[in-house]
A and B are shown apart, each in its own frame.
Chain A
Amino acid sequence: MVFEPFEDESDFEVLADKLSDPDPAVRRVAVMDLADTADPEAIPMIASAIADESAEVRLQAAIALGEFDGLEAATALCRALQDSESKVAQAATDSLSELKDPDAADPLLALTSHENPKVREGALLGLKQLRRPDALANGIEAMKDPVAAVRIQAVGVVGYLKAEEALPALIACCRDEDPDVRRTSVGALAFSKSSHAKDALLTALNDEDWAVREIAAEVLGKFAIGTSIDPLIALLDDPYWQVRVKAVRSLGKQRVVAAVARIGAQLGEPVSNLRKEAAAALGEIADRSALSYLENLVNDPDPDVRKNVRWALTQIE
Chain B
Amino acid sequence: MPIANTPTTVPVVVDEDKCIADKGCTVCVDVCPLDVLRISDLTGKAYMKYDECWYCMPCEADCPTNAVTVNIPYLLR
Which chain A residues have a beta carbon within 8 Å of chain B's beta carbons?
Answer: 18, 23, 25-26, 28-29, 32, 56, 60
B23, B25, B27, B65: residue with the most chain A Cβ atoms closer than 10 Å:
B23
Are A26 and B64 within 8 A (Cβ)?
A: no
Most chain B CB within 10 A, of A29, A56, A60, is at: A29
List 22 A-B residue pairs with CB atoms under 8 Å apart, sorted by A's residue number. Answer: A18-B24, A23-B23, A25-B20, A25-B23, A25-B25, A26-B23, A26-B24, A28-B20, A28-B23, A28-B25, A28-B64, A29-B20, A29-B23, A29-B24, A29-B25, A29-B64, A32-B25, A32-B27, A32-B64, A56-B64, A56-B65, A60-B64
B-chain residues with CB within 8 Å of residue A26 when the two chains form the complex: 23-24
How far does the alpha carbon of A28 sit from the alpha carbon of B67 in the complex, in Å? 15
Task: Tell me which residues from 1 to 46 in chain B have a Cβ below 8 Å from any Cβ of chain A.
Answer: 20, 23-25, 27
Main secondary structure on B side of the interface with A = loop
Whole-angstrom distance between the Cβ of A130 and the nearest chain B Cβ? 27
CA distance A29 to B29 in the complex (A): 14
Interface hub of B24, B25, B27 (most chain A Cβ within 10 A): B24
* Distance between B38 CB and nearest chain A CB, rounded to angstroms: 18
Chain A residues contacting B24 (CB-CB under 8 Å) are 18, 26, 29
Q: Which residues of B contact A28 (CB under 8 A)?
A: 20, 23, 25, 64
- Other contacts beyond A28-B20, A32-B25, A56-B64: 11, CB < 8 A: A18-B24, A23-B23, A25-B23, A25-B25, A28-B25, A29-B24, A29-B25, A29-B64, A32-B27, A32-B64, A56-B65
Contact residues in B for A18 (Cβ distance below 8 Å): 24
Q: How far is the CA of A25 from the CA of B45 in the complex (A)?
A: 13
Q: Which residues on B sit within 8 Å (CB–CB) of A60? A: 64
Q: How far is the CA of A25 from the CA of B27 in the complex (A)?
A: 13
Interchain CA distance A13-B41 in the complex, whole Å: 28
Query: Chain B residues with Cβ under 8 A from A56's Cβ?
Result: 64-65
A56–B25 Cα distance when bound, in Å, is 14
Chain A nearest CB from B14 CB (Å) reads 15
B19 (CB) vs chain A CBs: closest residue: A25
Q: In the complex, what residues of A have CB within 8 A of residue B65's CB?
A: 56
When distances are taken between beta carbons in the complex, the residues of chain A under 8 Å from B25 are 25, 28-29, 32
CA distance A25 to B44 in the complex (A): 14
User: Smallest Cβ distance from A46 to chain B, in angstroms?
Assistant: 14
Determine the distance from Cα of A23 to Cα of B25 in the docked complex, in whole angstroms: 13
Residues of B within 8 A of A23 (CB): 23
Closest 4 CB pairs of A and B: A25-B23, A25-B20, A29-B24, A29-B25
A26 to B25, CA, bound (A): 8
Residues in B whose Cβ lies below 8 Å from that of A25 = 20, 23, 25
Interchain nearest-CB distance for B16 vs A (Å)? 13
Residues of A within 8 A of B23 (CB): 23, 25-26, 28-29
Per the bound structure, the CA–CA distance linking A32 and B20 in Å amounts to: 13
Across the two chains, which residue of chain A brings its CB closest to B27? A32
A29 to chain B, nearest CB (A): 5
Q: Tell me the smallest distance from the CB of A44 to a CB of chain B, in Å.
A: 21
Cβ-closest chain B residue relative to A60? B64
Q: Which residue from chain B places its CB closest to the CB of A33 in the assembled complex?
A: B24
